[in-house]
Structure 1
Amino acid sequence: MQSIEDTKQTRRIQISGGSTYTISLPKKWIDEIGIKNGDNMTIVKNANHSMTLFPGLDTEKPRRRAVITISQKDAGESIQRKIIAVYLNGYKTIQIISKGVKILPEHSRLIKDLVRRSMIGTEIVESDSESITIQILTRLPELTFDVALKRMHLMTSNMHREAIEALSKNDIAYGEEVARMDDEVDRFSLYMMRTLIMAIQNASMLYDMELEQPSDCLNYRTVISRIERIADHAALIAKRIKFLKDPLEPKTIKEIQGLSEDAINCFDNSILALTKKDPILAEKIASGVEEIVKKEEALMYGIKESKNSTIIKFVLEDIRRTAEYSSDIIEVVINKTISSIISEK
């Protein structure tokens, strides 16, 4: 067990010259981290009046290769879960091996499909009968967290609008095309979750992402999961089209489109409030979400029994859930900006 001195010590600050202060660092810590005399260090001043000290970016060491050993008895879903867990934990190279026996063809297909469908910036660089090696090529400077978040939001917003359009046209093929877009949203979700996990473990990456403190990673994890869920509901709307017995009536289409537009506007504005750190806009969205819930309840109450009534109810619920998940995003905005709207005594 580590002693308190292994993780926390108090040192006195001393002035050196007219405008510089110095503080000594424990030799044991320096040796364990691998810092040498003359190495560059980076100091970050955090918003919570703390400072973070970490080695220069050039000294950052990539994580080692992760090796996953599988057998022919393993379930394909179990293998996929292990690969995703390693990907999220920031490893640059993932090797799947099956010692002494061949990897089953169905396992090989599942792994390759997972890489293609769910993992941004990855390639299979080696593959033989007993091993598959996955290389993660994408680095943060090439696809920043902010850019990935914007793309994920735009894809999800477009998914919802196109799902409603396909529903109004009773176009099954269009709906299936929209539903497939969910895979792309999931890819961005995994990439950003991986980035957040790495940022918690690496102060330099946290700084690159322009996050003020590690707790911000928890807030953004909530945002990402809510965007992913909104995309899931858009995909559900698109998938429900094939179960319609008849085209929807014009009056019903108009009601669904109106509620949908209100919900997606709340979603778009919740992301805008997040990027602008605007608590006033966030409060306005909260009121809008309440109105959407009331409208959805009224529409539900007014639905007459028909061949399509069950599908219509499911669609209305999908739209309401979109608004409610947007409400979760604005809660993050308010939590992050509360210090700017209160006074401390």
Structure 2
Amino acid sequence: MEIRKVQITGGSSYIVSLPKQWIKSANIQKNDPVGLIVQPDGSLLITPKIDGEAVRRTRVFEVGATTDRTYLLRLLVGAYITGFTAIRIESKGRLPPFVLQLVREFTQMAIGQEVVGETDSSITIKDLLNPAEMPFENTIKRMHVLARGMQQDAVAAVRGRDAALARSVIDRDTEVDRLHWLVARQDNLILTDTTLSRRMGIPVNQAAYYFQVSRIIERIADHATRVAYNALILIEFDPDPETLDLIDAASTLSLEIFTWSMEAFHTGDLKKANATLQKVRDLEERTREINTRALQSEAVAAIPVGQIADSIRRIGEYSGDICENVINHIVGQEA
């Protein structure tokens, strides 16, 4: 940190000299305007960008015939989430055929990504989505609706021994992942581009809060998917009606806790968040009943039933985590 003294000129103007190295790196010339943004903590941000134009960053990956497909996909997802506005894949020779297919899969998975240039040895993906047009709250509301519906259908698949419904739940998990990646990307963009924070009207700490909740919902959807996988296993067996009733009741309570936690999140209701946390204990008792009942069955059926009970419990616990985040965030704001 450089320390500079405030000076007075003209009897009423306060001035601070700017670091020469920063002036050169930003290519600022005499009489060029700079933007001054007062931050929530009282600090002052000085930026050469006054037109609100988004920061443009490009990430280049080199590939070859021996490049691992899964590794390349992880790199693409990482570049997307960390906020690169363009991704270019290059090869010294002709691009391997699997790369073209992988890129198309990636653009279907990641929101706003499109192929804008392609040659025999390179392919360029560009972000065409304006992040300011995708409010965090709308995305998280959509994630909540999807995750809740997935869990409802997963339990219905268990009772109805419905393989098609279970596979539908598994397929929908990708949509929740896509939305979570978008929230993660926007959070990273706000960290690297303060003008975006201003355009979206979202402080940096608020974006991090949204990301934390988004991550929890994504994990809830993962557990709904886990229930669906176990529903496929249980198709070969016939759980007794009482066990199915216990699963239904526990899942209903877990989803009520999930819904209450999201209501507390959207309204900032501290009392509701605290009351919802108390309900998690009731859910734990109900899932223990399922496990006790499952132990009376053969191991091949008891194991998937136990895993379903565990996922239902985890959905409630993750919902409790949302409530804890709400309490922490709201209390921090009040300070």
TM over 0.5: yes
Pairwise CA distance, 1:322: 0.7
User: Could you tell me how far 1:13 is from its partner in structure 2?
Assistant: 7.9
1:149-164 superposed matches below 5 A: 149-164=140-155
> Over the residues paired in the alignment, what is the CA RMSD in angstroms?
2.6
Per-residue displacement from partner, 1:123-162 (whole Å, max 9, x unpaired)? 1223343222211111113222222122122211111112
Aligned residue for 1:73, secondary structure, equals coil
Match of 1:278 among 269, 294, 299: 269
Deviation digits for residues 93-139 of structure 1, max 9, x if unmatched? 11111112x222223222221221x2001112233432222111111
Does the CA contact (< 8 Å) of 1:167 and 1:241 recur in 2?
yes
Distance in 1 (alpha carbons) for counterparts of 2:62 and 2:27: 31
1:197 positional shift: 0.7
Cα distance in 2 between the residues matched to 1:260 and 1:179: 17
Give the structure-1-normalised TM-score: 0.86
- Given the alignment of the two structures, is residue 323 of structure 1 paired with residue 316 of structure 2, yes or no? yes
Q: Which residue of 2 aligns with 1:80?
A: 73
What CA distance in whole angstroms lies between the structure 2 residues aligned with 1:11 and 1:274?
A: 43
Percent identical pairs in the alignment equals 27
Distance 2:210 2:110 in 1: 19
Q: Give the SS at the match of 1:77.
A: helix
Which of 192, 199, 203 is residue 183 of structure 2 equivalent to? 192
Deviations, residues 213-234 of structure 1 (Å, cap 9, x unaligned) = x344443332222111111111
1:240 corresponds to 2:235:
no
State the match for 2:82 in structure 1. 89
Residue of structure 2 in register with 1:179 after alignment: 170
**Equivalent residue of 1:269, what SS?**
helix
Determine the structure 1 residue equivalent to 2:18: 26
1:1-345 equivalences under 5 Å are 4-5=1-2, 9-12=3-6, 22-26=14-18, 28=20, 29-34=22-27, 37=31, 39=33, 41-46=35-40, 48-54=41-47, 58-100=51-93, 102-116=94-108, 118-212=109-203, 214-244=204-234, 245-303=236-294, 304-306=296-298, 308-339=301-332
Letter in 1 for 2:325: V
Which residue identity does 1:220 align to in structure 2? Y
Give unmatched runs, 5+ long, in structure 1: none
Task: Tell me the amino acid that sits aligned with residue 332 of structure 1.
Answer: N
C-alpha spacing 1:99/1:294, structure 2 compared with 1 (3 Å): same
**2:147 and 2:221 in contact (8 A); partners too:** yes
Q: Report the residue type matching 1:219 in the other structure.
A: Y
* Distance in 1 between residues matched to 2:72 and 2:225, nearest whole Å: 25
Contact 1:88/1:194 (8 A) holds in 2:
yes
Opposite residue 58 of structure 1, the aligned amino acid is: D
Q: Secondary structure at the match of 1:129?
A: coil
Contact residue 273 and residue 279 of structure 1 kept, 8 A: yes
TM-score (norm 2): 0.88
Q: Structure 1: how far apart are the matches of 2:277 and 2:13?
A: 47
Mapped contact 1:63–1:90 kept (Cα < 8 A) = no
Quick one: structure 1 residues 332 and 21, their matched pair in 2 at CA, closer, same or farther if it must change by over 3 Å?
farther
CA contact (8 A) 1:145 1:209 kept: no
Q: Which residue type is aligned with residue 94 of structure 1?
A: I
Task: Report if aligned partners of 2:227, 2:311 keep a CA contact under 8 Å in 1.
Answer: yes
Q: Which runs of 5+ in 2 are unaligned?
A: none
Structure 2 counterpart of 1:233, one-letter code: H
Task: Indicate conservation of the 8 Å contact 1:42/1:56, yes or no.
Answer: no
Count of aligned pairs between the two proteins: 330
